[in-house]
Structure 1
Amino acid sequence: MKIRDFMITDVISVTESTTIKELLKILVANKIGGVPVVGDNGDLIGVISDGDVIRYVKPQGRTVYDMFSLVLVAEQEDFQDKLTYCLDFQVSKIMRTKDIITVNESQRLEEALNIFSKHRIKKIPVIDENKKLIGVVSRGDILRYVYNQIINKTP
């Protein structure tokens, strides 16, 4: 069984100039937890997830600095203030661009299963030989495919 047999080809993606506000709207409207980030020619340049956004907008805690008995205190940021402040930032500010795990459509199902198991990620971008995004595979896609093709035996 190859990845092409169950990958999603109608991929929802964003560009690096998409704002965090636009990204949140896309994630919520489509009930998804992350998207690939593509360049002008459709090549994969990064990924961004709901977890990346949450980690970024998380308010910073109170910090006490003791510099030779001069104590400086940084008060905790308010969540609403931090969120409002960064809604217009572009996703390029927080997207991941390094160590992105990808697959190609001719790889076997078992390879995707190994990746999901080893790296504990939810989605894997599928790219062609030119690094152009052609699909995405999620854990749910694999479970649906296994259920429909093997357990339920429906096409």
Structure 2
Amino acid sequence: MKVRDFMIKDVHTVSQDAPLSEVLELFVSKRINGAPVVDASGKLTGMISDGDILRYINPQRQTVYDMFSYVFISQPEELEEALSYKVGTPAKKIMKKNVQSASPNQDLEEALRMLAKHHFKKLPVVNNEREVVGVISRGDLLKQIAGRLNKLNNETVGI
């Protein structure tokens, strides 16, 4: 079995220059939790997930700075305050940069090993030019496997 047989071909990508507000809109409207990040020519530059976004917008706690025997205490930040200046941040500042990817012609077992080894939820699938042509996600992969198992069981039973 090959990656191309299991990958999702209708992929939602994010421009590396897209502001956080646009990424959030995409995630909510398409009900996705991650997406490949691409440059202007459509080449993969990273991945961004809902976890990356939550870690980035996490309001700062009260911080104590000791500078030359002067103590400064920053006030805790509220979520609205954090969002007010973080929504314009481009995806390239939040994304994971050194991402693993799969090829459409790669054996599915290799992609499964990458997903398991690195604890990825999604793995971008790229062609020889590093353009995103699909994505493999753990959830979709499990649905496909379960569907194939059901089909095999029904054939075995004679249904």
- Aligned residues: CA RMSD: 1.5
Q: Secondary structure at the match of 1:101?
A: coil
Partner of 2:157: none
1:84 is displaced (CA, Å) by 1.8
Offset at residue 67 of structure 1 (A) = 3.6
Q: Structure 1 residues 42, 67: CA separation in 2 closer, same or farther (over 3 Å shift)?
A: closer
> What is residue 81 of structure 1 aligned with on the other side?
81
1:9 alignment partner, SS class: coil
| Secondary structure in structure 1 of the residue aligned to 2:147 | helix
User: TM-score by structure 1 length?
Assistant: 0.91
Q: Percent identity?
A: 41
TM-score normalized by structure 2?
A: 0.89
* Alignment match, 2:56: 56
What is the CA distance between 1:152 and its match in structure 2? 3.6
Larger displacement relative to structure 2 (20-29 or 145-154): 145-154
Distance, in Å, in 1 between the alignment partners of 2:146 and 2:118 is 23
Distance 2:68 2:5 in 1: 64
Q: Map 1:107-126 onto structure 2 (within 5 A).
A: 107-126=106-125
- Give the Å deviation of 1:25: 0.8
Shift of residue 105, structure 1, vs aligned partner: 0.9
More displaced 10-residue stretch of structure 1: 120-129 or 105-114: 105-114
How far residue 68 of structure 1 moved from its aligned partner, in angstroms, is: 4.9
Residue 39 of structure 1 corresponds to 39
1: distance between equivalents of 2:66 and 2:22?
A: 41
Unaligned runs of 5+ in 2: 155-159
2:53 maps to amino acid: V
Letter in 2 for 1:144: K
Q: What's the secondary structure of 1:73's corresponding residue? A: strand
List per-residue Cα deviations over 1:27-47 (Å, max 9, x = no partner).
Answer: 011111111111222211111
Report deviation, 1:102: 0.4
Unpaired segments ≥5 residues, structure 1? none
1:80 alignment partner, SS class: helix
